Structure 1
Amino acid sequence: MTQPEGTGTGRRPDDAYDVVIGGAGLAGSAAAILLARRGARVALLERRPDPDAYKVLCTHALTACAYPVLDELGLVPALEKAGAVRNEARWYTRWGWIAPRAAPGGPDLPYAYNVRRSTLDPLIRSHAAQTPGVELLLGHKVTGVLQDAGRTTGVRVETPDGERELRARLVVGADGKDSAVAKLAAIPTRRHGNGRFGYFAHFRDLPLPGGIGQAWFLEPDMAYSFPNDDGVTVLAVLPDKKRLPEFREDLEGSFHAFVRALPDAPPIDSARRVSKIIGTVDHPLVTRDPTAPGIALVGDAALTGDPLWGVGCGWALQTAQWLAEAVAPALTGGGDLDRALASYGRTHGRRLRPHQRLAVDFARSRPFNPLERLMFAAAARDAASARHMYLFASRLIGPLGFLAPAPMARAVAVNIRHRVRGPRRAG
């Protein structure tokens, strides 16, 4: 292994690094910071030349599962200063609103932040550029991967000054669901259809009850509204694709009509829209193996979920942390990188694949199944069940924890009690 030369951030004469990361968005910048802090020499590549570039199509939500990573990165004070909003939420269902609250006398509910990517992306990218051991290379587009005996050993990049080769023990793809790194390395891609499409816009002067986020489960249509930094609220609609013709015919009219029809709808007509209505009519869920010899994928490059759940940003940060924890000792100490990558792959699969399987199923644009009806109905009627739902929505527990015997038994009891008491009150 080539050893780092000093503590500066300039590149080595032979263009060799411990790690080359393609993509300086949320996942790539986090991975660069965490790997460099552990002693790795990192080249962080970003195809866009603007240091303030950001991802536009995003829910702008960092779920509570991301807070420990934000804390390790040292970004929490900067996010608070930038006006990021701690993300409480409530959800509408056919049984009423689910409004999670902390237990009396208990700890506050875990949280992270709602923050616009125009704020978040430049912030974390600047943080990466200032980290000793990271060289941020803007305007560098990955055009090929270097391989030796079936193992990735670096990348070929197009730069403002021409083509260049960068060699490394590990190449990381952090370049989104259409990852060029994954494609060039011939990593198989599994795409799962999404029965919904989505549009969103930013508004000012759009008050939300309690100033907290809201989501509507309309079975199969969906919508959400999240307050963000600088007094801007993100409002999104995710209808079933059978409604696509009406949106194509009149996007603005259909968007506003959809929002007005929501139960307890936000007052969209009195708000001021400060962005275009943007979105996508086809957003497949993407799953790839997160590792191959000499290569690792983080964030959406490895697994792209359904935007209606708002988990992509949190998973980008978590996967960056899991990768750094797994591979840094091998990269900086000359250990077995393949074994370290296998460890990362196991963690990635264990923590995220069960969530993805549920998301793929729900993306068929179906109504709630019996288990979902059981748990959502109980959460609308019972504070403890609502807190349990919140932990799952924040991805602090997995599907097995969500459907564990104790909370399911409580849900059954809550719903039976509701049915028994309901007729008595009516009488």
Structure 2
Amino acid sequence: MTNPESAGSDYDVVISGASLAGSAAAILLARRGVRVALLERRSDPDAYKVLCTHSITANAYPVLDGLGLVPALEEAGAVRNEARWYTRWGWIEPKAAPGGPALPYAYNVRRSTLDPLIRSRAARTPGVDLLLGHQVTGLVEEGGRIAGVRASTPRGEREIRARLVIGADGKDSAVAKLAGVPARQYENERFGYLAHFRDLPLPGGIGQTWFLEPDMAYAFPNDDGVTVLAVLPAKKRLPAFREDLEGSFLSFVRALPEAPPVDSAERITKIVGTVNYPLVSRDPTAPGLALIGDAALTGDPLWGVGCGWALQSAHWLAEAVAPAVTGRGDLDRSLARYARRHRRRLSGHQFLSVDYAKARPFNPGERLMFSAAARDASMARHLYLFGSRLLGPMRFLNPVALAKAVAVNLRHRGPAAPVAFPAGAGAGAGAAADRGANAPGSGSGPEAG
């Protein structure tokens, strides 16, 4: 780690935010010969993000592997994130095909483990100067483009110039705001609370997610025998939660189908959460500027995609701009290439998430795919690959998959099995189930999965 006061003031790249996205970008750029200043507003090298799903989806495994973090995560006890999902049609339990390859995975791991691990890896990477206690307060501009940052440090104000400034500073990105990059916000009609428990057994020892239409919940096993348990109810239930947070949280969990035995487990953290978590999208580039992670795109936390997208966007940016920021290419063209890839890979997923964040029951297309996945092993694998963000929306909803889902459901014609929902959670879902396959749904049919 470089002492902030002894570090040079000129770099190829300045990154604001030394959490997951920023640290990954710093490592990947420095390996390509880029001189990186990695700024972190907090002074504690072990600082970490508290409000998180603590899960990395399988789409990001290649990035973890490329960073050399897989052995360290395994040694730290990170849990390979298998999953099963509850629906009104029963449990969806993805399994590898007989004789086929194992299902792809990444990890469930607490940010208190993950963030210091990747930050220390960045600090040890030649070419990276980790500057703790550096908070960006302004941007340096030259000739209509961003050319550096001004930062508040323990020793006063400091200017750091670079060919490229990267905002990796979260959904409320100060860098994006200072650059005047507009944010498109979409209301999330769910709120969320989570807590960490020890000695909370889960069936099969794997993650559980409950689609209660419109309410949601999940339980993910993490490192050191700790399970993250989260509830994401529709906002109509917020007044009751505000009156008695702990009682409402526990009552919600107890009413889940195959509920985790929360009363016999040890809660080791406070119940924390947020009542307003909009989905945010920004243009990922501007002249001299790139945004990665939540600064560019903040997804709905119920899908657990934030960590995976943070790692992927860091990787895409490093691949696109590394030659240009060292003077061996056109930076604006490189940024445009990153922006195109970012939009192509993530905008479809975000569109569907925005629609489902309206806290509605499943629409007809979702009912088709989820019910088929509960009844057929190959459809369960197909849904698992989409949930892991290894398939885009068009491949998930391709004609062959839709035709197979129809065929599966035709073979299982009959009334839906009765479903128990937490009190007040299932009114919309129960009514939709009673109406059957011809029920109207909000959104855009099968495109809104």
Q: For this structure pair, what is the TM-score category when the shorter chain's length is used for normalisation?
A: over 0.9
Measured in 2, the distance between the counterparts of 1:131 and 1:370 equals 50
Contact 2:24 2:311 in 1 (8 A): yes
Q: Displacement of 1:331 after TM fit?
A: 1.5
Measured in 1, the distance between the counterparts of 2:257 and 2:77 equals 29
Given the alignment of the two structures, is residue 342 of structure 1 paired with residue 360 of structure 2, yes or no? no
Measured in 2, the distance between the counterparts of 1:330 and 1:184 equals 24
Measured in 1, the distance between the counterparts of 2:47 and 2:154 equals 17
Alignment counterpart, residue 127 of structure 1, candidates 121, 126, 129? 121
Q: Which residue of 1 aligns with 2:88?
A: 94
CA shift in 2, pair 1:417/1:131, >3 Å: same
Measured in 2, the distance between the counterparts of 1:148 and 1:221 equals 49
**Percent of residue pairs bearing the same amino acid type:** 77
Measured in 2, the distance between the counterparts of 1:14 and 1:301 equals 26
Given the alignment of the two structures, is residue 299 of structure 1 paired with residue 269 of structure 2, yes or no? no
Q: Which residue of 2 aligns with 1:65?
A: 59
Q: Which residue of 1 aligns with 2:183?
A: 189
Post-superposition Cα deviations, 1:79-110, rounded to whole Å, max 9, x if no partner, equal: 00000000000000000000000000000000
Q: Displacement of 1:330 after TM fit?
A: 1.1
Q: What is the SS of the residue equivalent to 1:200?
A: strand
Contact 2:374 2:380 in 1 (8 A): yes
Q: What is the correspondence of 1:4-83 to structure 2 with a 5 Å cutoff?
A: 15-83=9-77
Q: Displacement of 1:421 after TM fit?
A: 11
Q: Displacement of 1:406 after TM fit?
A: 0.8
Q: What is the correspondence of 1:401-416 to structure 2 with a 5 Å cutoff?
A: 401-416=395-410
Q: Which residue of 2 aligns with 1:141?
A: 135
Contact 1:9 1:134 in 2 (8 A): no
CA shift in 2, pair 1:357/1:133, >3 Å: same
Alignment counterpart, residue 103 of structure 1, candidates 93, 97, 102? 97
Measured in 2, the distance between the counterparts of 1:410 and 1:388 equals 11
CA shift in 2, pair 1:415/1:47, >3 Å: same
Post-superposition Cα deviations, 1:126-165, rounded to whole Å, max 9, x if no partner, equal: 0000000000000000000011122000000000011000
Contact 2:213 2:361 in 1 (8 A): yes
Q: What is the correspondence of 1:26-425 to structure 2 with a 5 Å cutoff?
A: 26-419=20-413
The number of equivalent residue pairs is 416
Q: Displacement of 1:332 after TM fit?
A: 2.2
CA shift in 2, pair 1:326/1:284, >3 Å: same
Post-superposition Cα deviations, 1:353-373, rounded to whole Å, max 9, x if no partner, equal: 000000000000011110000
Which residue identity does 1:331 align to in structure 2? V
Which residue identity does 1:410 align to in structure 2? K
Contact 1:36 1:133 in 2 (8 A): yes
Measured in 1, the distance between the counterparts of 2:178 and 2:389 equals 31
Contact 1:20 1:154 in 2 (8 A): yes
Contact 1:9 1:132 in 2 (8 A): no
Post-superposition Cα deviations, 1:146-188, rounded to whole Å, max 9, x if no partner, equal: 1112200000000001100000000000000000000001101
Q: What is the SS of the residue equivalent to 1:419?
A: coil
Measured in 2, the distance between the counterparts of 1:279 and 1:37 equals 37
Q: What TM-score, normalized by structure 1, do the two folds share?
A: 0.96
CA shift in 2, pair 1:12/1:326, >3 Å: farther
Question: For the aligned residues, what is the CA RMSD?
Answer: 1.5
CA shift in 2, pair 1:38/1:9, >3 Å: farther
Q: What is the SS of the residue equivalent to 2:105?
A: coil
Measured in 1, the distance between the counterparts of 2:407 and 2:263 equals 42
Measured in 1, the distance between the counterparts of 2:5 and 2:94 equals 50
Contact 2:218 2:230 in 1 (8 A): yes
Which residue identity does 1:160 align to in structure 2? P
Q: Which residue of 1 aligns with 2:422?
A: none
Contact 2:166 2:291 in 1 (8 A): yes
Measured in 1, the distance between the counterparts of 2:14 and 2:130 equals 10
Contact 2:89 2:416 in 1 (8 A): no
Which residue identity does 2:318 align to in structure 1? A
Q: What is the SS of the residue equivalent to 1:158?
A: strand
Q: Which residue of 2 aligns with 1:5?
A: none
Measured in 1, the distance between the counterparts of 2:293 and 2:108 equals 18
Q: Displacement of 1:60 after TM fit?
A: 0.2
Contact 1:9 1:133 in 2 (8 A): no
CA shift in 2, pair 1:139/1:149, >3 Å: same
Which residue identity does 1:63 align to in structure 2? T
Contact 2:190 2:359 in 1 (8 A): yes
